[in-house]
Amino acid sequence: MHDFNLIERWYLNFTSDYLFPLAGLVYHEWYKLFVLFMFVAFWHQLGRVVFQNLSYVGLSKAVLDAARKSSETGISYSQESKLDSPPRAILARRRLYRYAFSSLGVVTLFYVVLFISVLCVGIGMDMVGAPYDRNDSIRWLFLPWNNYGAAWIVGGMLAGKVLSRLVRFMWVDAWLGSEDQRVNAQLAAGRKKTAQRKGALTDVRTLAFGERVHFDPLEYFAPAKARDSVFLGLDEQGEPIYIARDIWKKTNIQILGVPGSGKSVMATNALVQCAAGYGDAVVYFDPKNDEFAPHVFRAHCDRFQLVDLRKGKPAQINPFGGVSTYDLENLLIAGFNLAENNDLADFHKVNEQHAAKLIARQFPGGDANISSILAAAHQLPDELKKEAKGFIRKLENVAELSALQTAGGVNIEAVLNGGGVLYIVGSTEDESVIRLQKMLFARCVQIINGREQPTQVAPVNLMVDEIKYLLSKYVVNALGTVRSKGAHLLLAHQSLGDFGQCGADLNPDFVRTGITDNTPIRWFYRASNFESAEWASQQTGEILVDTERRKVSSERGNVELVGHDVQLQQDKRYLFDTNIIQHMPDGFAVLTGLGTAKQAFTHHIAVTPAPIALSEAVALVKHDPIAALYDDVPDAPEFDLSDYDAIGMQWGVDAGEKPAEAHTGENKPASGTVQE
C-alpha cells in the first residue's frame, strides 16, 4: 500500500471532490458521449462562422482585402468595420457580432483548457495510484485500457465539424450572402450624395410626378389680360405660365399626346381667353366631338356658332358659296386628296384634277353649292367621267351629307374677319365627313391668305384636333404663310405616326417637316410610343448629369456587393427624357419654345353640359343626285371643250369634230352623260 504524503492526499481529495464531476463526463455511454461532443463542435464551428461574417456584414471582401494589403503595419478591426463609412446602426450591429465572436472564442478556450486539465489530473492520479477506498468509479476512470473515452470525444468533435460545414454549404452561406447584399443595398441607398452632383439619369421604376395640381383657370384670365398675355397653365412651382399676345398671334403651336391626356383642355382654355377677352376669331375643328369643349365656349363666349357635319343633321353651311374658280378647284383637290405625290397613282390623279378644274370653271360667279357641283360633275364628257369615276363617286357621297344642303348658312369669312367662335363637329370614321372637314379647313386657309390688310381684322386662331383627319397638301403648304396674315394654328395629334395618315396624296416626311418647321411652340402630353416620346424629349434640350461608376465583387453565396468608392463622370441626357414623356399622368405636360423647357399643368374649366342649338339654314330642295339629271334642276353652265386639244387630251373627240352638246334644251342628259 502506497504511503501518501500530505500534498498527495490533498491532491487526491481535491480531485475526487471537485474535478470528478467534470471528469465523470467520460463515463457516459459511448453514443451519448459522441452526440454530446458532436453537438458542441457543431454549434461552436457554426457560431464562429456566422458571428465572424456578420461582424463584416455588408462590407465587400474585395474592399477588405485591398485595405489589408495596402497597410504595411496591419489594420485593426475597428478600422476595418468603418471602411465603407456605415451609419451608426450598422456599425453597432457589426461590433455586436464581433463581441459575440470573441466571446465564443474565449468560452471555447476555457472549456478546452478545463477539459484537458481534468484529463491530465486523471492521468496523474493513475500514475501515482488512486486510493481504492475513495470511490470505485475513480479507479474505473483511470484504468489505462479505458483511454478516458478519448476516441468517442474526438470522433464526435470531427463529426460535428463536418456537419457544420455541410450545413454552412447548404444554407448558411446563402443566408449570409443575402444579408450582405441587403445591408450593402441599405448603405448605397442611404449614402448622402454631395450637392455638387449635377442631376442623374432617370429610372422609370422610381419616377415620381407628385399630385396633379387642381386650379380654376378662370382665376388667371384677368391677370393674363392685364399683362396683354394668354394664360396656358401652371409650372412645377405653381406659378402661372403666360405667353405674350404678340408672340401668341404669330406662332403656330403643336400639341402632342395620347387621347384623354388633356390636349383639348389646354387649347380650349387658351382660345376662350382669345375669343372672350380679345375679340379674336376662333375656328375649332373637332372630329372627336369633345364632351365639354363646345359647352365651355358657349358659356364664356357671346358670339358662338356650332356646326355639326355628321349625317342626319340639318342644313347649316355651304363652303362653296362666294368661292372663286381657282379656290373651288383647290377645295376639291384638298378635300378629295387629288394632289400628286410622285407615284404611279398620279396618272389617275391628273385626270381627276382635270375633272375638278372643269367643274370649278362652271361657277365663275361664286354661286356654287353641293347640288350644282354634283350636277356639273355628272355633265362631264363620258371619257373624262370614266377616268375620274372614283372622284365623282366620292363627290356623290359627300353630296348626301345633310349639313351641306343649303346655299347659305354660316358665313365663315364673317367669323374669320369679325371675330367669334365657330365650333365644327366632324367625324373620325365617316369618310364623307372627313373630306368635308378638309375642305372647310382649306377654305379657312384660303380666306386668311386672301386678306389684304390683316391688321384691320380680327386675329384668327385655328384649332385642329386630330390633324390626320383634316390636313391636305394645300393646307400644309400654307402653314408657313398664314402667320403673316394675322392667323396662327394649334395642331393637335397623338403621335408622329399621324403624319403618315393624313391622306394618300401626302408624303409623311413632307407633312412632318411642314408641321415641325412651322410650330416653334410645342406642348407635349404623355406619348404612347417610343418614337414620339424620343422626338418630344429631343425638343427639350440636353443637360449634363453625373453618372456613377462602382466596382462590384462576387461574394459568398454567389451575390454581388458594391464597393463604397464611387467614380463620377459627366454624361448627357435630355432635360425631359423618354421615361418622363411616356409616363406623365393626365394633365401633366412639357412646354418647349418659351425659354427652357418646363413641366406644366392644365386643368379644365368647370361647365355643365346642356343641349346646344345648331346654326340651321334654309335647305335646298332635295333632289336625287341621279334622278336630278332628268328632272328640273338648275342647269349647269355648258362646258367649253375647245381647249381639250390644246392640252393634248381629246377625251374621245377627234380633232375637228364638233363635241356633243353639254345639255339639251329639253332638260335631258347630254349624249356624253353616264346614266345609272
The answer to whether the CB of 672 falls within 8 A of the CB of 381 is yes
Q: pLDDT-derived band of residue 190, with 50, 70 and 90 as boundaries?
A: confident
Which amino acid is present at 116?
A: I
> What would the mean pLDDT of 299-311 be, rounded to a whole number?
94
Q: List, in sequence order, the alpha helices (H) in 485-625.
A: 508-516, 530-538, 578-583
Q: Assess whether 180 and 268 both reside in one domain.
A: no
pLDDT of residue 652: 37
Q: Assess whether 165 and 295 both reside in one domain.
A: no
Is 208 contained in some domain? no
Q: What angle do CA 111, 112, 115 make, to 5 degrees?
A: 80
From 133, 155, 190, the end of a domain falls on 190
287-291's contacts with Cβ under 8 Å and 24+ in sequence apart are 287/426, 287/427, 287/428, 287/434, 287/437, 287/465, 287/466, 287/469, 287/470, 288/259, 288/428, 288/465, 288/466, 289/425, 289/426, 290/264, 290/465, 291/609
pLDDT of residue 132: 40
Q: Assess whether 229 and 181 both reside in one domain.
A: no
Q: Assess whether 438 and 519 both reside in one domain.
A: yes
Q: Measure Cα distances from 45 to 48, 175, 298 in Å.
A: 5, 16, 85
The answer to whether the CB of 265 falls within 8 A of the CB of 603 is yes
**Could you identify the residue written with the cell 363627290?**
395
Q: Assess whether 317 and 180 both reside in one domain.
A: no
pLDDT of residue 538: 93
Is 106 contained in some domain? yes
Is 369 contained in some domain? yes
Is 475 contained in some domain? yes
Least confident of 189-193, 333-337, 380-384: 189-193
Is 202 contained in some domain? no
Least confident of 160-169, 436-445, 520-529, 551-560: 551-560
From 557, 586, 601, the end of a domain falls on 601
Q: Assess whether 380 and 294 both reside in one domain.
A: yes
Structural domains counted in the chain: 2
The pLDDT of residue 345 is above 70: no
The answer to whether the CB of 262 falls within 8 A of the CB of 589 is yes
Q: What percent of the chain stands above pLDDT 70?
A: 80
Q: Assess whether 13 and 52 both reside in one domain.
A: yes
Distance of CA 613 to the CA centre of its chain: 39
pLDDT of residue 662: 37
548-560 per-position pLDDT tens digit: 777 777 777 777 7
Least confident of 36-50, 71-85, 182-196, 437-451: 182-196
pLDDT of residue 669: 38
pLDDT of residue 18: 54
Least confident of 236-245, 498-507, 624-633: 624-633
Is 642 contained in some domain? no
pLDDT of residue 177: 87
Report residue 317 as a C-alpha cell: 353651311
Q: Assess whether 382 and 298 both reside in one domain.
A: yes
Is 113 contained in some domain? yes
pLDDT of residue 552: 78
CATH of the domain at 465: 3.40.50.300
Which residues in 485-496 are b (16+ Cβ under 10 Å) and which e? bbbbbbbbbbbb
Pairwise CA distance, residues 334 & 36, whole Å: 98
147-177 per-position pLDDT tens digit: 556 677 788 889 999 999 999 999 998 898 8
632-636's contacts with Cβ under 8 Å and 24+ in sequence apart are 632/667, 633/371, 633/375, 633/667, 634/371, 634/372, 634/375, 635/663, 635/667, 636/362, 636/372, 636/375, 636/376, 636/379, 636/662, 636/663
Residues 6+ apart with CB under 8 A from 213: 234, 238, 587, 601, 603
Residues 6+ apart with CB under 8 A from 86: 58, 59, 94, 187
Q: Measure Cα distances from 645 to 160, 348, 650, 671 in Å.
A: 112, 19, 5, 20
Quote the domain boundaries for residue 321: 217-540+575-601
> What would the mean pLDDT of 108-118 be, rounded to a whole number?
73
Least confident of 361-375, 412-426, 551-565, 586-600: 551-565
How many other C-beta atoms lie within 10 A of the C-beta of residue 228? Answer: 12
Q: Assess whether 144 and 257 both reside in one domain.
A: no
Least confident of 280-294, 374-388, 469-483, 617-631: 617-631
8-39 per-position pLDDT tens digit: 445 445 555 555 555 555 555 667 778 888 88
Is 666 contained in some domain? no
Q: Assess whether 292 and 433 both reside in one domain.
A: yes
Q: Assess whether 155 and 298 both reside in one domain.
A: no
pLDDT of residue 520: 93
Q: Assess whether 147 and 235 both reside in one domain.
A: no
> What would the mean pLDDT of 262-286 be, rounded to a whole number?
94
